[in-house]
A and B are shown apart, each in its own frame.
Chain A
């Protein structure tokens, strides 16, 4: 276990956010991951992202499937409703929750087995439907709870702990999401909190499906030589394809661009994503240029990271497509849903 329960005493350095809540208020139960697990770093980044975006914990629904990654929602936001569902089925359950109450902030935490094998269909269709949620894949290339089988994200030629090579083609969630029309696609590394936290914050602000694939090494089963999801390999091959900063809507948006800013994208809630240091020919709002660039760079073994693609207007969010009112369906009074006896009487005149 990677850390013990923290003392209830409030450290003076804990800064309250706009809601008066400190980072501690966004934490959850004690983690039961292995010491050094990448997932714990992601949990910490999620805690920070929710704190810094002033999200009220009770308005958050945190959902997951089955697997090591899917255990982690217990370890953040104890004030939020959680749903540890069934293997690969979280996207559908999240879709239903989103349909019922659009005011909720949904975060789904999944793994490469959960999302790319048993739940590949559901994740793909949640992307297609553009369900408004932040979807984090804690990607370690391996099945941890069943002790080390390759997952569908394991790269061809990479080796298992016992030295056995993976002979099958890997599924890359980033390229998959791009081809499915995802409107927010990012990849990061659990060991790079500076990059991950702003991506998660932008993902929360994004109206639609925000896919964040996070390489998250498994210290027990996939952190050896020959693995392409180890700490060492990822540190050596990670390459920030593009940098970004997230400017929340409450901050004054200054007119001039920061040095190196190549593009700004306004989010639906008024916040802004500022891209910088984009390589030549790379436009983070142009799906094709992103796919071409990634295809070329990934073939050499590089692990390009960053908020790789963002186009909030590319595809309407599920509720926009369904023309549902701003008021959540759960809040509609019954009287506005039931046509009543008189309407039934007149309807039945047509059943004669």
Chain B
């Protein structure tokens, strides 16, 4: 048994053994900055192209070069591609982490390692099979130059894995064509490296291993995309023209992708004019200020950041809330508090975003569970922000944002037109006897707004200071409260227009499970596993705040609910207790917040640990009982 390992989680005997081909998890242990990332992505992409459900998770350090880094690939024919720390095969390419890596392999699994030098006796385990390939020697013999030898080592292990796991070689070959089509020399050396690894495995090992791939047709209508790219695509399709941001992991690639997409679709071929303006701000205070200035002037604008940036934006988020200015804020959550762990995932900003800023504020939050929802919710965020004239937070996380996910192909309806909300045109303003900013209100408690440069009669003073329903400065309690009451009604009205919750009922369900965002895959897998053990539960996936009637009705459907989320303080549970009539005692928590994507095992264990009436010997020896939120 190992000592906790680098996942920070105790190993638990995994009772569900691989059920044949296309059901395994491999972990690749590398050194950061040695070119392993592209080799690992190549493997994952090849499996996707073989039509098999797959996920790839990059567990990387906050470092440019030298520290240990891991990549996990999970293959599952049934589509269960949440993270699992049950590794069937370890590709141990980092001698510094050998001990921990080898300890993590499940009994009966395999370790692939560089056998150029001997493996220390202390590292060996009788219950796993060691597959040694002299990678360093092979690269020394076949490639010239230190850099190429280092890089090609990764490609050689791709070849070994291709033989061990029965990759479709034509798929790999096709990918090399695409990647190196214009660089024949590089294509040749990569192909040669794959062949070297492949041949070695064929000559020395019993290929393929019992865990192996078998072509399927489950990904034909899917794409491979990370959440940040999908979010950027959503912003592009929503018609955002101004983006202001400050670089921060793990949100940076939202703006990188937005820029790339704009360069492709928003540059006039004749004149070179750019139909967008991206401003890299001096900090997040300025980034949100620029967004507010741009939307106030009538553009669609957004920013993307992570927790530390949200903390800084708090001040102006309150201004946008109170002055009723639309803003779209993408929060790709990482581990907090403070700097926390910038390259690890968490759902720790739920409460921060729900009530960001001083005074009474309450915001609209969207919780995408995968990149496809990032795309669609990004578009929805702009519509909601303008419809309700308020900041809207898109709460993604590092796992969704930076890892490649297999999701259904994104669909777009060309009939879509932005919902700009109540913005008065020149003629509408001209026809008014007098424009007043914060009244009259419509059914959604929203008043019409005007933008500068349209009509003199539409001019008014936007202010974060106390104002009355006409838009005038006030310090009169009743006038101030009248506006605040409407803002509260407005927030409640948004519940009917935000993405509805996803509810799955099961016959004979004894309790409900509630979750959000990137927990979805692990929760679904857990529910299936529980079902096989005779434990049936209904499932509610919350996709937005404010909570709709569907959420409230679900909370009445059982006496007991498990709220599964990735933070210490049960923030979703807190929000439910604060914002719905549910009795706090009915909500139990399952929490996993150490920084890695959620596993089904954690959910199953967390639930069973709190079901004293269910005796389950399979889980009897678990070492750490998840906490119960008080």
**A residues whose Cβ falls under 8 Å from a Cβ of B:** 56-61, 63, 73-74, 78-86, 89, 91-101, 103-104, 121-122, 124-125, 129, 318-319, 322-325, 328-330, 332, 334, 336-341, 343-344, 347-348, 351-352
Contact = CB atoms under 8 A, between A and B. Distances in A.
A330 B460 CA distance: 19
B223 A348 contact: yes
A89 B279 contact: no
B223 A325 contact: no
A83 B281 CA distance: 20
A96 to B, nearest CB: 3
Contacts of A84: 461-465
6 contacts: A57-B456, A95-B290, A101-B299, A330-B298, A336-B275, A338-B236
A82 B414 contact: no
Interface in B290-309: 290-299, 301
Contacts of A351: 223-225
Given A73-B461, A93-B296, A334-B417, 19 more contacts: A63-B293, A83-B296, A84-B462, A86-B289, A91-B286, A96-B292, A96-B293, A99-B294, A100-B295, A101-B451, A122-B286, A329-B241, A329-B275, A337-B239, A337-B266, A338-B238, A339-B265, A351-B224, A352-B49
B289 A58 contact: no
Contacts of B266: 337
B299 A329 contact: yes
Contacts of B287: 92
Contact of B462 (A58, A82, A91, A322): A82
A89 B289 contact: yes
Contacts of B225: 351
B511 interface: no
Contacts of B273: 323-325
Given A81-B452, A336-B275, A337-B266, A93 B242 contact: no
B464 A341 contact: no
Contacts of B412: 340-341, 344
A100 B456 contact: no
B410 A59 contact: no
Contact of A96 (B242, B278, B456): B242
Interface string B429-467: 000000000000000000000111111101111111100
B272 interface: yes
B459 A96 contact: no
A267 to B, nearest CB: 21
Contacts of A347: 233
Given A329-B241, A334-B417, A351-B225, A83 B290 contact: no
Is chain A's interface secondary structure helix, strand, loop, or mixed overall? helix
B297 A96 contact: yes
* Most chain A beta-carbon contacts within 10 A, residue among B242, B411, B413: B242
B172 to A, nearest CB: 14
B6 interface: no
Interface residues of B, number: 71
B405 to A, nearest CB: 11
A100 to B, nearest CB: 4
Contacts of A61: 297, 452-453
Ordered nearest first, which 3 A-B pairs have the shortest CB separation? Answer: A96-B293, A92-B289, A100-B299
Contacts of B465: 84
Interface in B378-416: 409-414, 416
B297 A323 contact: no
B294 A325 contact: no
B425 interface: no
A96 B463 contact: no
A318 B277 CA distance: 9
Contacts of A104: 297, 452-453
B360 interface: no
A88 B49 CA distance: 53
B479 to A, nearest CB: 17
Nearest to B278: A322
B528 interface: no
A83 B291 contact: no
Interface in B261-283: 265-266, 268, 271-279, 281-283
A344 B410 contact: yes
Contacts of B295: 96, 100
A94 B293 contact: yes
B203 to A, nearest CB: 33
A318 B281 CA distance: 13
Contact of B453 (A82, A101, A124, A129): A101
B237 interface: yes
Contacts of B418: 334
B599 to A, nearest CB: 26
Contact of B277 (A57, A60, A329): A329
Given A58-B453, A86-B319, A337-B239, A81 B462 contact: yes
B285 A89 contact: yes
Given A83-B296, A96-B297, A99-B290, A339 B237 contact: yes
Contacts of B451: 81, 101, 330
B444 to A, nearest CB: 22
* Most chain B beta-carbon contacts within 10 A, residue among A73, A80, A81: A81
Contacts of A100: 241-242, 277, 293-295, 297-299, 301
A323 B409 CA distance: 33
Contacts of B242: 96, 99-100, 329
B365 interface: no
B475 to A, nearest CB: 12
Contacts of A344: 233, 237, 410-412
A96 B283 CA distance: 14
A127 B46 CA distance: 50
A91 B279 CA distance: 13
B459 to A, nearest CB: 5
B316 interface: yes
Contacts of A337: 236, 239, 241, 266, 275
A95 B450 CA distance: 19
A347 B287 CA distance: 29
Given A86-B319, A96-B290, A100-B301, A58 B463 contact: no
B315 interface: yes
Given A122-B282, A348-B410, A351-B223, A86 B464 contact: yes
B319 A324 contact: no
A286 B412 CA distance: 55
A58 B455 contact: yes
B244 interface: yes
Nearest to B273: A325
A338 B452 contact: no
A104 B319 CA distance: 22
A93 B293 contact: yes
Interface in B195-242: 223-225, 233, 236-239, 241-242
Contact of A74 (B233, B271, B417, B461): B461
A103 B453 contact: yes
A101 B276 CA distance: 11
B289 A332 contact: no
Contact of A334 (B239, B298, B460): B239
A56 B454 CA distance: 11
Given A80-B459, A104-B453, A93 B289 contact: yes
Nearest to B455: A58
Contact of A95 (B233, B271, B289): B289
Contacts of A329: 241-242, 275-277, 299
Given A78-B459, A86-B319, A338-B236, A92 B293 contact: yes
A79 to B, nearest CB: 4
Given A104-B452, A324-B273, A96 B296 contact: yes
A112 to B, nearest CB: 19
Nearest to A348: B223
A127 to B, nearest CB: 11
Contacts of A56: 456
Nearest to B450: A81
Nearest to A340: B414
A74 B473 CA distance: 10
